[in-house]
Amino acid sequence: MQQPLAYLNGELVPADQAVLPVYDAGIVQGATVSETLRTFHHELFRLEEHLDRFTNSLATVGFDIGLETEALAGICRDLVAHNTVSLDTENDLGLVIFATAGPYATYSGQPADRFDVGPTLCAHSFPLPFHLWHTMQAEGLHLVTPSVQQLPATCVDPSIKHRSRLHYYLADREATQTAAGSRAVLLDQQGRLTETTAAGFLLVSGQQVIAPAIDSVLQSISVEVIAELCQACDLSLVRRDLWPDDVPGADEALVASTPYCLAPVTRFNSKAIGNGKPGPIYDQLVMAWDRLVGLDIRNQIRHGAANHQQPQMNNDPGNHS
């Protein structure tokens, strides 16, 4: 079996050798921007959109990695081509690309006149962990609003996809202490609903799918896909401020994220949403996503979850975000 590769600062290296020094600013300060992608049929989905968002994040934080978007796309495609050689056709990969601010001067031990402050760039792939998503696809998520709030836009622009996420960790920890197995959906300083720690949040009312106002959340590529799917399903996607009081009257609630695409939310702050089961709009949108990518997404998750080792590799010689 061929060993997975990763990309680190201009080189393809064995994945287990893609390590950062303890003095990298991504570790010291969490100064990191990132993107997570996935494949369908071993082809990266919406690669251009993800890399556009990544390069916008880089520009906003002032990281100059010295590569154009097409070069980044080539790195991502090369990793997937290598790391899917021994991956079964029914399984897929996730791929992460991230950049940090580079070495942190105080801890590096290097003389100031020789200190290189260039960014660190890394990309690596991982087998999609279908076993983590099977139950939430079948039964739905329970979301809780914790006391931990979303970072205000005056501190970090919500258009930046970043890894300064201690508040996410604390929010999810509080949520699970409130209700076992739940996840956090964060409020902003105005009390508006924003997003979960790993996904965009949406409500369904009649034939409308409602997403939070764009000024309060990351521009979600998955939500943009849902906007396209709504047009094909005689639904409409609208953006407006969402408040906790909007949830009890909603027909359904959903979360959207690149790795698993779409999942239902069936409980909010310990109360059922709708009838407490995944609803028909969720089902309609997932089937439309299936048609878009030529794959039964929920069946892939069910099949993957049934295999205790994820993913199962075949025995052919050759070659694993």
Domain ranges of the chain: 5-128, 134-306
CB under 8 A, 24+ apart: contacts of 75-81: 75/7, 75/123, 76/37, 76/44, 76/47, 76/51, 76/123, 77/44, 77/47, 78/7, 78/12, 79/5, 79/6, 79/7, 79/12, 79/123, 79/124, 79/125, 80/39, 80/42, 80/43, 80/44, 80/125
pLDDT category at 115 given cuts 50, 70, 90 is: low
**Residue in this structure with the two tokens 């009390």, named with its chain if needed:** 191
Whether residue 113 has pLDDT greater than 70: no
Q: What angle do CA 241, 243, 249 make, to 5 degrees?
A: 115
- Beta strand 32-40 with 261-268: parallel, antiparallel or unpaired? unpaired
Residues 86, 2 contacting (CB under 8 angstroms) = yes
Least confident segment among 23-37, 110-124, 126-140, 239-253: 110-124
63 vs 309, higher pLDDT: 63
Rg, C-alpha atoms of the chain: 20
pLDDT band at 315 (very low <50, low <70, confident <90, very high): very low
Task: Give the span between the Cα atoms of 68 and 283, in whole angstroms.
Answer: 39
Give pLDDT, residue 122: 98
At the fourth CATH level, which superfamily is domain 134-306? D-amino Acid Aminotransferase, subunit A, domain 2 (3.20.10.10)
The pLDDT assigned to 54 comes to: 98
Tens digits of residue pLDDT in 31-84:
999 999 999 999 999 999 999 999 999 999 999 999 999 999 999 999 999 999
pLDDT of residue 112: 63
State in words which class domain 5-128 has. alpha beta
Phi/psi zone of residue 316: left (φ > 0), alpha (ψ -120 to 50 degrees), beta?
Answer: beta
pLDDT at 236 over 80: yes
pLDDT over 70 at 313, yes or no: no
Spatial distance between the Cα atoms of 148 and 169, rounded to a whole number of angstroms: 10
* Neighbouring residues of 41: CB distance < 8 A, sequence distance ≥ 6: 89, 92, 293, 294, 295
| pLDDT in the model for residue 106 | 87
Q: Rounded mean pLDDT of the chain? A: 93
**pLDDT, position 311:** 43
| Distance spanning both ends of the chain, measured CA to CA | 19
Query: Over 70: is that where the pLDDT of 1 sits?
Result: no
Tell me the pLDDT tens digit for each residue of 192-224: 999 999 999 999 999 999 999 988 899 999 999
- Which pLDDT value is given to residue 205? 97
pLDDT at 2: 79
Identify which has the larger pLDDT, 1 or 30.
Answer: 30
pLDDT digits (tens, 9 = 90+) for 127-183: 999 999 999 999 999 999 999 999 999 999 999 999 999 999 999 999 999 999 999
d(CA 185, CA 182): 10
Q: How confident is the model at residue 314 (pLDDT cuts 50, 70, 90)?
A: very low
- Residue indicated by tokens 């089961």: 277
Cα separation of 163 and 174, whole Å?
A: 19
